[in-house]
Amino acid sequence: MAEEQKANDLPEVENIDMQEELTKLEDEINTLKQVLASKETQASELRKKLGIGFGQQIQQKFATIADSDTVKKTSETFAEVGDSIGKAFSGFGVSATSKLAEMKSSPSFQSFEQKTMGLFGRTSQTATPAATSPVAEPAKDEPL
């Protein structure tokens, strides 16, 4: 509604001029659409005459995209980021390994390890008794 009031607030001459300009723009847009459709038809016919199929068109477009500077710069950036991440994880792995080796050789860890091996390292020498239950055959005359 605010737009309708703005249009109503404009002088009538200016409003008519804008309507004419809008009509011209819409006509130009329609003309350009028709020209584009005609050019696309011509290109399609030339592709058929040259024997260029849909698959080849896609390959050509991908090749064009792959050869673009943007894709090359992006892939270089990804390679640099990947290298940096790889170096960071490698450094982390080396650091973690050395810390674990230090911890494993500490007296407190060795004491803990001995205690846990004492608990879990034992083999049970007594076997679990088999479950027994009295089994009585039901009498033949009694219902189950």
Q: Give yes or no: residues 100 and 81 share one domain.
A: yes
CA distances to 86, 90, 97 from 83, in Å: 5, 10, 21
pLDDT > 70: what percent of the chain? 74
Question: Which domain range does residue 57 map to?
Answer: 1-67
Q: Give yes or no: residues 78 and 91 share one domain.
A: yes
Residue 11 forms part of a structural domain: yes
| pTM exceeding 0.95 | no
Q: What is the model's pLDDT at position 33?
A: 98
Residue 15 forms part of a structural domain: yes
Q: What is the model's pLDDT at position 131?
A: 54
Residue 137 forms part of a structural domain: no
pLDDT band at 1 (very low <50, low <70, confident <90, very high): very low
Residue 125 forms part of a structural domain: no
Digit-coded pLDDT (tens) for 41-100: 999 899 889 888 888 888 888 888 888 888 888 888 989 888 888 888 888 888 888 888
Q: Give yes or no: residues 13 and 27 share one domain.
A: yes
- Does residue 139 surpass a pLDDT of 90? no
Q: Give yes or no: residues 44 and 101 share one domain.
A: no
Q: Give yes or no: residues 59 and 106 share one domain.
A: no
Rounded to whole angstroms, how far apart are CA atoms 87 and 79?
12
Using the 3D structure, point to which of 34, 51, 67 is the last residue of a domain.
67
User: Tokens 């219902």, residue?
Assistant: 143
Q: Give yes or no: residues 58 and 109 share one domain.
A: no
